[in-house]
């Protein structure tokens, strides 16, 4: 009989000896082993990919040390929720008692004001904060809070650890023990798990729910089962790269409807909206570029807005920017220009000196050597322009920027041709 409780939850470790992976933290000399032994636990942040045991480790600490454990999810909690937990912790304070743990999952999704609301309680020892994040906390957690927390990095499970987890699942889980699981091959299971313990257990759940009776695990069965049941979007697996790639190419290809579709898939799958906003800033420069310079301004405003307001309202700003970029004229001329220049710099073995007239002359010696001499100040001439050479010797007339076919750059091209008299 298939249990309604997911296998990953049924198999969640209740003691440290059941915890698989992260030997550098929970091994004999690991820092978490010392936490369990001494009971002295500072506020800390667990940083690592999904499904590697961040939540489990936090719960194990609380359970082992028999301390109150409050939990909030940054996705649906706000400043009010944080303050309520802090007030509860204050009311339950006793002389010399250890503070309760406050576990915040996906703490990188808390905005600045939400993170600020934690500072006083952490600093005063009212709570011991445990944060979990898949994003680099250096970028996503405010400095005052980060300075009050230790950061511990968790790693994806390796093949031997995933196989250990598989063996534990089929030998100890009451439901799977009744199904007489036979393991013939594990290559596909390990590949689709991708170092994620929860994903491996979810795959077993899918397979056990799809067939009756005994269970056989081999590459064909695993692959076929996942093709039929695969989720719309997995923000840390192959789907992540496929969907963001489709999103970028749809916007670049001027299809606003496809762009919105893939945006919705990412948001529904729990993708960090700031990750999407960063991609939109890149698209604005790389793909829209000089055909519509306002695109970069809007994309930057989008990133700032997403950072300030968070979800769910951020979806509207992301949608507006996606549609604007998709429907804008396109140009990759700036992208191609810097690539051409970087390629030349990389391959050019000549030590090309900056022309003397372009050099700064802060000392009298430099002036005597001709630094800055014969430089023509553009604003002293009609139209704020005068022909002079800016390239190093040997690169005169080298062209990196090639205007694309759009009205904005047609104007730019005409001006270049006019003032430089055909040089470029």
Q: What is the DSSP letter of 374?
A: T
Residues 313-368: pLDDT tens digits? 999 999 999 999 999 999 999 999 999 998 888 888 777 888 888 888 888 888 88
pTM above 0.95, yes or no: no
- Residue 1 in this model has a pLDDT that exceeds 60: no
* 96 confidence band (pLDDT: 50, 70, 90): low
pLDDT band at 233 (very low <50, low <70, confident <90, very high): very low
pLDDT (tens digit per residue) in 286-298: 999 999 999 999 9
Q: What are phi and psi of 150, to 5 degrees?
A: -80, 150
Question: Taking a C-beta distance cutoff of 8 angstroms, is the pair 281, 251 a contact?
Answer: no
Residue 200 in tokens: 């491996």
| Confidence tier at 3 by pLDDT (50, 70, 90) | low
The third-level CATH classification (topology) of the domain covering 353-419 is: post-AAA+ oligomerization domain-like (1.10.3710)
Rounded (5°) CA angle 403-407-413? 35
Q: What is the mean pLDDT of the chain?
A: 87
Q: How many CB atoms lie within 10 A of CB 47?
A: 22
pLDDT of 234 reads 54
To the question of domain 159-229 being in CATH 1.10.8.60, the answer is: yes
Torsional sign, CA 203, 209, 211, 215: positive
Predicted confidence at residue 231, as pLDDT, reads 46
Q: Where are the domains of the chain?
A: 22-153, 159-229, 238-327, 353-419
Instruction: Confirm if 338 and 290 have CB atoms less than 8 A apart.
Output: no
For residue 232, what pLDDT is reported? Answer: 42
What mean pLDDT do residues 299-304 have? 95
First to last CA, the chain: 76
Closest CA to 117 of 147, 88, 90, 78: 78
Give dist(CA 320, CA 260) in Å, integer: 9
Q: What is the per-residue pLDDT for 93? A: 74
Q: What is the pLDDT of residues 140-198, one digit of tens each?
A: 888 899 999 999 999 989 999 999 999 999 999 988 888 889 999 999 888 888 888 98
* Weakest-pLDDT range from 23-27, 149-153, 305-309, 364-368: 364-368
pLDDT of residue 36: 86
Tokens at 137, concatenated: 């906390």
pLDDT of residue 263: 93
Percentage of residues of the chain with pLDDT beyond 90: 35
Instruction: Give the model's confidence band at 227: pLDDT under 50 very low, under 70 low, under 90 confident, else very high.
Output: low
CATH of 22-153, one of 3.20.20.370, 3.40.50.300, 3.30.70.260, 1.10.10.10: 3.40.50.300
Please identify which residue in the block is written with the tokens 């040089």.
423
pLDDT (tens digit per residue) in 373-417: 889 988 888 888 899 888 888 888 888 988 998 888 899 889 888
Q: Given this model, what pLDDT does residue 271 score? A: 82
Average pLDDT over residues 91-107: 83
Closest CA to 188 of 203, 198, 173, 176: 203
Alpha carbon distance 395, 241 (integer Å): 40
Q: Domain 238-327, what architecture?
A: Up-down Bundle (1.20)
* List of residues 6+ apart from 5 with CB closer than 8 A: none
The token pair that represents 148 in the structure block: 């009050």
pLDDT digits (tens, 9 = 90+) for 101-135: 999 988 888 888 888 889 989 998 899 999 999 88
Cα 239 to Cα 230: distance, rounded to the nearest angstrom: 10
d(CA 349, CA 347): 6
Mean pLDDT of 209-213: 82
Once rounded to an integer, what is the mean pLDDT over residues 277-286?
Answer: 94
Q: State yes or no: pLDDT of 304 exceeds 90.
A: yes
CA angle 344, 350, 356 (to 5 degrees): 100
Helix (H, G, I), strand (E, B) or coil at 84: helix
Provide φ and ψ at 389, rounded to 5°.
-90, 130
Same fold, 22-153 and 238-327: no
pLDDT at 214 exceeding the cut of 80 = yes
Q: Across residues 237-243, what is the average pLDDT?
A: 65
């Amino acid at each position: 009989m298939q249990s309604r409780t997911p296998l990953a939850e049924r198999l969640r470790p209740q003691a440290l000896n059941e915890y698989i992976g992260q030997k550098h933290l929970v091994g004999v000399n690991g820092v978490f082993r010392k936490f369990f032994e001494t009971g002295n636990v500072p506020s800390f942040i667990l940083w690592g990919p999904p499904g590697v045991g961040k939540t489990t480790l936090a719960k194990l600490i609380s359970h082992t040390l028999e301390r109150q454990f409050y939990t909030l999810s940054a996705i649906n909690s706000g400043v009010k929720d944080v303050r309520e937990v802090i007030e509860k912790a204050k009311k339950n304070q006793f002389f010399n008692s250890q503070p309760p743990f406050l576990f915040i999952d996906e703490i990188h999704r808390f905005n600045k004001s939400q993170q600020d609301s934690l500072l006083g309680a952490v600093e005063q020892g009212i709570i011991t904060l445990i944060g979990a994040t898949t994003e680099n906390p250096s970028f996503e957690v405010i400095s005052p809070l980060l300075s009050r927390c230790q950061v511990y990095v968790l790693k994806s499970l390796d093949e031997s650890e995933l196989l250990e987890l598989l063996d534990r699942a089929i030998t100890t889980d009451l439901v799977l023990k009744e199904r007489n699981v036979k393991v013939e091959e594990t290559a596909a299971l390990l590949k689709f798990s991708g170092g994620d313990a929860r994903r491996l257990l979810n795959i077993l759940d899918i397979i056990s729910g799809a067939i009756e009776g005994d269970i056989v695990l081999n590459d064909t069965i695993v692959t076929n089962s996942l093709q039929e049941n695969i989720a719309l979007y997995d923000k840390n697996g192959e789907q992540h790269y496929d969907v963001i790639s489709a999103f970028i190419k749809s916007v670049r290809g001027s299809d606003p409807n496809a762009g919105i579709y893939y945006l919705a898939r990412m948001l529904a799958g729990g993708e960090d909206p700031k990750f999407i906003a960063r991609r939109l800033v890149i698209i604005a420069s790389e793909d829209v570029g000089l055909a519509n310079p306002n695109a970069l301004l809007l994309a930057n405003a989008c990133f700032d807005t997403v950072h300030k307001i968070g979800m769910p309202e951020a979806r509207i700003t992301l949608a507006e920017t996606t549609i604007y970029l998709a429907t804008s004229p396109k140009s990759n001329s700036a992208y191609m220009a810097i690539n051409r220049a970087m390629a030349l710099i990389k391959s050019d073995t000549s030590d090309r000196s900056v022309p003397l007239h372009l050099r700064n002359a802060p000392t009298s010696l430099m002036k005597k050597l001709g630094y800055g001499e014969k430089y023509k100040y553009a604003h002293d001439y009609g139209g704020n322009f005068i022909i002079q050479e800016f390239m190093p010797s040997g690169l005169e007339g080298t062209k990196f920027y090639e205007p694309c076919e759009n009205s904005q750059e047609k104007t730019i091209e005409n001006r270049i041709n006019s003032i430089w008299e055909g040089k470029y």
